Structure 1
Amino acid sequence: MNFAQVMNELESLGTERTKKLYLGNGAREPLFGVATGAMKPMKKLIKRNQPLAEELYATGNYDAMYFAGVIADPDAMTAEDFDRWMETAYFYMLSDYVVAVTLSEASIAQEVADTWIESGEELKRSAGWSTYCCLLGNRKDEEFDVEKISRLLDVVKMTIHSAPPRAQSSMNNFVYTVAISFVPLHEKALEVSREIGQIELERPGKKPAVLDATATIEKWMTRGKLGFKRRYVRC
């Protein structure tokens, strides 16, 4: 499939209901409102195609940008490429669900995520923490430096309450991901979650959401999910 065929197919798959949902979460025109599951047949047909992914991402159309992440070749992208994608990721569903998820399959994932976490920019920070969530929830524990992940837990403990909302959400996710998916630091992550306590997340135009990493950890533990790893990161 070429660029025009993909765009036509995405347009045909869009629904007003899904479009309204995305707009309510911060998306903006142009977009078609395509459910992620509806993209799977095209993904199977195209597989990985970085040039096509770049064309789609450059449109500014949310659905095209999302699908770009689905068919991108992460190891064909440089740190500069991921930074360029981040520059046009204007809300969290792009920064965290497209750019961070794509980055998590690249060999440079931790290197780039570290720079984003330290950037001071809300969506970059959010994407950096989300990248680590994807990594820890998918890769073997032996692939990580325990001391480094421990230091990141300390960073969360010291800064989460002063962080901007989207970063708070991803940092909270990081804590419970470590507790569930990274067994060497399960106890420390659980302790950090208790020290952090509940966080009231401000959301424009909506009621605040309450984040509770401890409750999430306990819920997963009762299901016997300690050590859980996802088979796939991208849809």
Structure 2
Amino acid sequence: MTDTAAGFTLDTVLAALAALEDPKMRAVNERHGDDHGVNLSRLRALAKRIKIDPALARELWATGETAPRLLSLLICRPRDFDADELDRMLREPSAPKVNDWFVNYLAKKSPLAEELRLRWFDDPDPTVAAAAWSLTTERVVKQRDGLDLEALLDQIERELQSAPPPLQWAMNETLAQIGIHEPALRERAIDIGERLQVLADYPTPPGCTSPFAPIWITEIVRRREG
């Protein structure tokens, strides 16, 4: 058990998480496949108290439990993990929220992000392939140079409609971001979305942008150019 500079140990942190457990919150989360009952705002507040603590982060991840793993991802240091370790972590069974935070808070912030993107692309595990597409979306938005966007659209056109849900969602996001950020390919991206109709019927709350790529692209471009 590691003693942290702020006085937190694995036992004290697990006790703090247990105190945050709310049966009503668990019921809500379980409808989305997340087996924990901790309010995420309170989880973030606990992470701020702990601050960055790589050793404790590893101990929390090793519990295999959802709430500790979420906290682990908030207090870890991405550069401390090598590619094989990150690959192993991604392949471990985890709740959807853990997977989402792993990709966004750890993989995307790792100095090995591009190595991981190439390693995971076209992996037979849809969760792993989805992570690669999320990293691809990050490059589309921030650093498109060197990406073959036409080839990405070709693959999306072939595979999006039949992809399993996590992978489909990630590929659809890449499609939308190519349309948003690359004017020369915008018409093609919208056309692919219109023909495939992926997420066309997705229920979208008032005031939110639909994940249906043609609507998503058109709305964001309108806002930017308006």
TM-score normalised to the size of structure 2? 0.80
The answer to whether structure 1 residue 120 and structure 2 residue 124 are counterparts is yes
1:166 partner amino acid: P
- Residue type at the aligned position of 1:16: P
In structure 1, the partner of 2:191 is: 194
Q: CA deviation at 1:215?
A: 0.7
Return the structure number with greater relative CO, CA threshold 8 A, min gap 6: 1
Find the partner of 2:62 among 48, 58, 63: 58
The structure 2 residue matched to 1:5, chosen from 7, 12, 26, is 12
d(CA) in 2 for partners of 1:155, 1:13: 44
C-alpha contact 2:120 2:128 (8 A) present in aligned 1: yes
Q: 2:164 — aligned with what?
A: 164
- Structure showing greater radius of gyration is 2
Q: Does 1:47 align with 2:51?
A: yes
1:114 is displaced (CA, Å) by 2.3
Higher mean alpha-carbon deviation, 13-22 vs 149-158, is at 149-158
Cα pair 1:10 1:64 within 8 Å, conserved: yes
Q: CA-to-partner distance for each residue in 1:108-152, whole Å, 9 max, x for gaps?
A: 112112222221111111222223334555xxx4x4424344433
Q: What does 1:136-215 align with in structure 2 at a 5 Å threshold?
A: 136-137=140-141, 141=142, 143-180=143-180, 183=181, 185-189=182-186, 191-197=188-194, 198-200=197-199, 211-215=211-215
1:11 is paired with a residue whose SS is: helix
Could you tell me which residue of structure 2 aligns to residue 233 of structure 1?
A: none
TM-score, scaled to structure 1: 0.77
Cα distance in 2, alignment partners of residues 221 and 109 from structure 1: 28
What is the total number of aligned residue pairs between the two structures?
Answer: 210
Pairing of 1:24-43 with structure 2 (within 5 A): 24-28=31-35, 31=36, 33-43=37-47
2:124 aligned counterpart, secondary structure: coil
Measured in 1, the distance between the counterparts of 2:225 and 2:48 equals 30
Q: Which residue of 2 aligns with 1:19?
A: 26
1:199 counterpart letter in structure 2: V
Q: Which moved more, 1:143-152 or 1:50-59?
A: 143-152
Identical positions, percent = 22
Cα distance change, pair 144–136 in 1 and its aligned pair in 2 (3 A): closer
Consecutive unaligned residues of structure 1, counting only runs of 5 or more, are: 204-209, 227-235
Aligned to 1:68: 72
Unaligned 5+ segments in structure 2 are 1-7, 203-209
Structure 1 position 17, deviation (Å) = 2.4
CA drift at 1:217: 1.7
